[in-house]
Each structure stands twice: as structure tokens, then as C-alpha cells.
A and B are shown apart, each in its own frame.
Chain A
């Protein structure tokens, strides 16, 4: 009963205040990203469901492209992929692994085709500013990859495999094992493809686009006693991609990514206090081979050591306070320069549940560093439940994106006096919900100052400068609807965003930021058969800042069919037709995506 009430309260967004401490402890033990649990109530978040994860498992790009308003600039299937979230730049989306920002130190962004979406238990999309808690780049929004550690005495194994056109394959194994005090979670994956698809328009083949990657993710936790838990997390990604040729005689190149990270955590629950000590080590390495025939390569390697202490305090049943001290040291080395950066930050946060319907959150962060002039950040938000089907949220925040190693240290042109990009934003969210329906519509305004751009400085060189101010505003909406009609189950998910990103000097739209994007998926199932249709619309985008050249809008649809087998419904077989209508489309200039292609998959739980 208690669990049911907690679940109900979670769904409806009420906190059953008397049960709050237990609930928090349970959630805090399960997930590492505690800020998400404690301080994210005044902005929207989209938790991707298992079926969404299963049906778009080929890449994080494809997963998010079909289920959110984020636009992806993908250099052909499987190649470098960067996001534009709420009309911002690729460096203005933070990717957060178990609460730790993992954007590249060299580039300040994450390549969404170098993350295996099946290496996380839970993927959450959080639109809007979040720098106070997640640091640099959380301007357009953040993507959260979380591992779950359950102490529920269960043993679960999940094997999935897929094979499809262009010799594309994937093999993933996930295992969870737990006792009351010990929990172990491992996920291993391998993906690859010849990726030699035909361009629908010209009939030419995609040359030199083959790739493979291996990933391993481990999470383990041990409850020493009721009050103390030790957790260890580890992730490894090793991938090689040949870069597909943009013109058929161009020199063939390839790129190798090797990333690993480790996180050790000690959680203590002492009466009104929640204490978390985290130590993390992040390592990112790349090797770029500018000519395949020779074994010569350019390289980069960056390591970050991080220590974080986080103390939460229940002042009383309605007020929760939190303080965080964060130390980080990053060192980078490439074949042409070396770099380092030390940062230290202090944050204070507060959540106050005024009554059952109204709460507010306030948080502040100050960073100290020798590498750039660190801004003072804040976030303030209110959530008000106006009716049992309608909630309004309001949030305003100041966020930043720090200059990257390349921006600061590139020989000759790196600019050590760069300021971080800063973003002032405000958003109003309206959530309508019932048992089988939810609709979220958010209006936002975001003023980004001191955008870092590489501009010509003469002698054929370019250098980064804080030049542009950009005004971004728009509306995004998310719809979810589920309904049973007897044995027939229907599910509809949709998103739509309208966005303007206007350079204040030129009054032009930013490049690679669409005005419109929409996604929809309609699922139907009856007994052991399910069918689904996925739809993606991306409006036109400009490829130059004078808005003279554009890429056409496109509409891509996928159709899938699934059969559930086995006495315990533990086998599932699926088939997908991707790009059903053979749309000719590019998300990056002169980088055609594949036409109609197939994918078959199998999931087995044991």
C-alpha cells in the first residue's frame, strides 16, 4: 500500500511529506544523480521508456531524434553527430553520466554517435538551463545517462541482438544481480556496420563509412548498514569510425575514440543529513588518421580528476537544503599542444514545499578557476499545482559554457582571455495530466551572450573570440497518451517545437537550427503482437550565417512490428522498415542519409 501511495504521488507529482525521507533514501540509493531527484521539479523532464529505448537502440542520435525536439547535425549515418537543443549550439548541451558532465575537454561537446544508448539503464532529457548543478554547457538542456542500483534481491538478464541493412549489427547483454545489501549491474555491447548505403538521390554509395564500437558499463553497490552505502561505477567506450567521403576521390581517413571513466561514491544517511562523497576519473582519447594508408595519426588525450562533496539537510519536513563543493583538475595533451585547467565550485541549493500545491527551488553556484573568468550562476523556480490535472512551473536561471581547451590553448590562435558564454533564461511550463494522458507545453526565452566563434584574423588564420549575442525563444510541447480499449492498447507520443535563434547583430537565424521540429510515434498492441509507426519532421535549416543557403525540410517515417513469444513472454522478435517512404534527406550539407532500409531485432529476458 505504501509503495502504491508513493508511486501515485510520484506520478501525480505530489510528495507525501511523511514518507519523504524514506522515499528519498530509496531513490538516492538507486541513482547517483541526486540533484536530479532533489532539484528538478520546476522544469520539465522526459524519461524515455523502455520501449522507446528498445526500438531506437542503434545510436543515441536516433533515439533522441525520434523522441525529442532536439535537432541532430549528423555527418551521414553513424558519423559525427552534434545536437542543437532549443536552438542552441552543439556546445550548449550537457551530457551527464551518473551526475557527472562528460562533454569533451577539447571540444566542449559530446558526439552523440559515440555513446551506446544501451549502456545506460535510464535516459532522461531535461530541456533548459541547468549549469548550477551540471556545470558547463547545460544551456539548451542536458541529457542524463543513469545507472540504477537496486537492492531488491532480483537477478535479471537481458540479451538483445539486431541485424539489418548495410551489414549493421548490434549485440548487447545486460545483467542485474542483487541481494538486500549488494547490487551489481553490468552491460556490455558491440555495434558495427559496413554503412555502405546508397544515396537515394544520386545512387552513389557511401564510401569509407564503416564503423564498430565496444562498450562496457559496470555499476555496483554495497550497503554497509542502514546508513552507509558504497557505490562504484565504471564505463568504457572503444570505437573506430572511418569518416565517409564527401567526394569520391577524397583522401580516406578514420577516427578512433577511447573513453573511460570511473566513479566511486560513499553515501551516508544520518537522520536529517544526506552526505555524499564522490571521486571520479574521466579519460578521453582520440586518434585521427588523416590518411588510411599510413599509420600516422594525430592524437588527443585528456584526463579529469574530480572530487565532490555534497551535503543535504532536511531542515524540517518542508525545507531541504543542500551544499556542494566540487574540485576538478583537467589535463589535456595533443600532438600540437598541452593544456590544463583547475576549477573549484561551491553551490548552495534550497527547496521549500510551502504547501501541498506550491513549492519553490533556489540555487546558486560560484566557480573559481584560473582558466577563465567564472560567472556567478543561479536558478530559481516555482511549481504550483493549480488543479488535479494542471500544474504550472516557472524557472529562471543563469548558465554558462566554458571555453574549451582548443579555444584557450590552440597554438597561435587560442585566446586565453576568452570569457565563458553566458545564458540568461526564463521558461514557463504548463503540464496537463491524467492517468493516461499528459501534455506539456513550455514557452522559453534565452539570451546568450559572448558566444565563442572562430573568426578570421588574417594570414589565413582564425581565432576564437567572444563575438555574438543571440536571442533564442520558442515553444516546445510533449504529448503522451495511453489507452486500453478492451484487448487493444494504444500509445501516442508526440513532440513539437518552434524556435527562433536570432543573432542580435545580423538579425539572422543561427546555422543548423531549425524553426520547426516534430516527432510522433503511434503504437498499437494486442496480446502478443505490437505495431508502431515513428515519424520525424525537421523544418528547413540554414547552412550559412547570412541565411542564403538552406537545407530542405524533411519527413522520415519508420514502421515496426513486434511479436512476443515464450510462456513467460520473455522473447520478443521485431522487424523495422526505416525511412519507409525513401525520403532523400540531409541533416548536414552534402551528407545524404540512407533511403529505405531494414532492421531485425530480438530481445530475450532470462
Chain B
């Protein structure tokens, strides 16, 4: 989701001279299918603007498996970066043809998400699950496709957003629960500031000089349930402007922005609010339960459509449901296992 927003804001780059924008996958949307943990069956599906669906495109173009547990993807210039969590690798492909351009295979431990700032890649890593103190953000040399340095951070760095020459890292907490956002200064690759937010910050975006951070709260089974919260942070001062608490048992996730509105999900319900909101919406925009969705696994809002990824029972082919902005179902697709993200290539 972070990446899709990123693409929207960087769409001018696509028209840069010297980039050949032709290929089978030049116009449409990639669906990242996480696959089963430990099964090496991650895949990418492509849904063209002409309505055609192609599953397993990395395998069909390159003749090999993509890897194990695809966490996220990032489109930049003419490349796509696919972050494979269990494989500890990043596959680099041409975003129009999906031909493999290389693999970043050393220096990553449980990689999660990637952003690009100042010509460098920044990748959040959870490190050893049993060690809360070895988590880091890897700095990637994009011409060599290698890790050139690491920035130690507190446990569980996850989704990131770059803005105003700063990188905001939400610490969902990895194998525990975090409650901070680290601010990395790319000029010296160090953490310049730590902003305390609610428990389990799981998604974020920046718009109009404000960083919106959605915190899921701790679930009830931890024995220490906390409510979800939405934090709004000033990106000049890096201080909290306001925060909004959810009712005690609601645990929101998947915050995205489109066209002046924010969207998020709670279990299988979709919520929306205008960015000028003064309180959180009390009613859902719509529910995906008619499609049999238990919980939204992947989510995006783009060009007037709402995209929902459904992992079904984890061992079935995943589904993608596409709705209009009022929640009317338009199309359903059958994709790879555990569709967790949408990335728009146009």
C-alpha cells in the first residue's frame, strides 16, 4: 500500500526519458501473493487494464520460483523490487517485462518493506525472532543491488514512508508489540527522533505535511488489550497534532489514502473518512462478508476502485474483490495464495 501511494506521487518518473515502457505488464496492476510460510510458493499475478488476468508471472517469465513469503513490493523507475521475508532476499525485476535483473541476497534478515530516498533503498528487517535487539533498516546500493550499511532500530520496524527528506518507520513491534515511529535522517543514516504513538502501528501515509499513523492496539489475548488509535503527526516538527481512539475492542489496520480520503479496515469491514475529519467514522462504508471474506488480507484504493485481497483458508487460491467507492462489487478474481498487496503499473 505504501508503495502504491508512492507510485502515485512519483508518476512523473515514469515518463522520464530513457525508460522503455513496453512489455506484457506495462498497463495494469500487480497482485502480490504471499504464499504459505516455508513453502517457497510466493507469486505475482497481473491484472491488465484490459481485464485479463495472468497468475504466477515471475515463474512464467523467469522459469524459477519467486521465493518464500513475499511480504511487499515496490515500483521505482523501470524496476520492481519484491521483498521475500523468509527467503531473506529481494528480487529485482523489470517492472514492464518482469524479467529478473538480480537478487539482493546478503545482509537481509526477515526483511519486510522498502522505500527509496535519495537514490538509496531502505529496507526494514526484523532480524532474529528470538532477539529483540538486533532489528535494523538496511541501506541498499541500488546500482550494485547490495546492502551497503545498516541502521540499528528498536524492535519490529515495519511499514515506512518517506517525506520531507526523512524516512518514517512504524514499529509494529515484530514478534512483540511496538508503539513508536522512528525518524531516519537519510543524510547521515541514523535515527534522529522517536515519536511515541499507540500500540501496534501497522500502517501509515503522508499527505499535506501530515503523517497519519494507524495503530491496531493490542488484541485481547495478550491479556493487556488496548484500543486502536489514529495519530496525526506534523512532519515539520515531528510532533503529534492529534490522536483519535477507537472503541476498546476494535483493532483497525490497512490505512491508505486516495483523493483526499482515508480508508482502513476492521476485520472484514471497510471504513472511510475525509482527511478533514474531526472524529472517526462510527459506521463502516461496507462489509465484504457477502463475498465470504473473514478478514481483509490485502487492501488498496486507487483510481476510484477499492481492492480487497482475501486469503480464504490459507490453503486455497486467494481471491481479489474489486468494488466501486460505494462498496458495490464489480469483479472478483482468483489469484495466488494469500494476496497481500496491490501495486499499480500505469
A positions within 8 Å CB-CB of B:
246-251, 290-291, 293-294, 296-298, 411-413, 453-462, 511, 543-546, 548-549, 589-590
Contact = CB atoms under 8 A, between A and B. Distances in A.
B110 A589 contact: no
- By Cβ-Cβ distance, the 7 closest A-B pairs, closest first, are A412-B221, A458-B295, A296-B130, A458-B267, A590-B40, A247-B87, A291-B128
B88 A460 contact: no
Interface of B: 38-41, 65, 67-68, 84, 86-89, 105-106, 108-110, 128-131, 216, 219-222, 251, 253, 266-268, 294-297, 311-317, 334, 337
Nearest to B42: A247
Nearest to A467: B313
B220 A459 contact: no
Contact of A249 (B105, B268, B294, B312): B105
Given A291-B130, A457-B294, A511-B315, A246 B221 contact: no
Contact of A454 (B40, B267, B314, B317): B314
B87 A250 contact: yes
Contacts of B315: 511, 543-545
A290 B129 contact: yes
Contacts of A411: 221-222
Given A293-B128, A457-B294, A458-B268, A249 B89 contact: yes
Contacts of B110: 251
A545 B36 CA distance: 13
A296 B131 contact: yes
A249 B106 contact: yes
B147 to A, nearest CB: 12
A461 B219 contact: yes
Chief secondary structure at chain B's binding surface: loop
A548 B335 CA distance: 10
Given A291-B128, A296-B131, A411-B221, A459 B86 contact: no
A269 B103 CA distance: 72
Contact of A546 (B38, B130, B295, B316): B316
Contact of B221 (A251, A297, A413, A455): A413
Nearest to B107: A249
Contact of A459 (B38, B109, B253, B334): B253
B251 A412 contact: no
A254 to B, nearest CB: 13
Given A247-B87, A544-B317, 20 more contacts: A247-B40, A247-B67, A247-B84, A248-B105, A290-B129, A291-B128, A293-B128, A294-B130, A411-B221, A412-B222, A453-B313, A455-B294, A456-B313, A458-B296, A459-B216, A459-B267, A462-B314, A511-B315, A546-B334, A548-B334
28 contacts: A247-B86, A249-B105, A251-B86, A251-B109, A251-B110, A291-B128, A291-B129, A296-B131, A412-B221, A456-B295, A456-B311, A456-B314, A457-B267, A458-B267, A459-B219, A459-B253, A459-B295, A460-B297, A543-B315, A544-B317, A545-B313, A545-B316, A546-B312, A546-B316, A546-B317, A546-B334, A590-B39, A590-B40
A586 to B, nearest CB: 11
Given A246-B38, A247-B40, A290-B130, A455 B219 contact: no
Nearest to B267: A458
Q: Which of A247, A248, A251, A461 has the most CB of B within 10 A?
A: A247
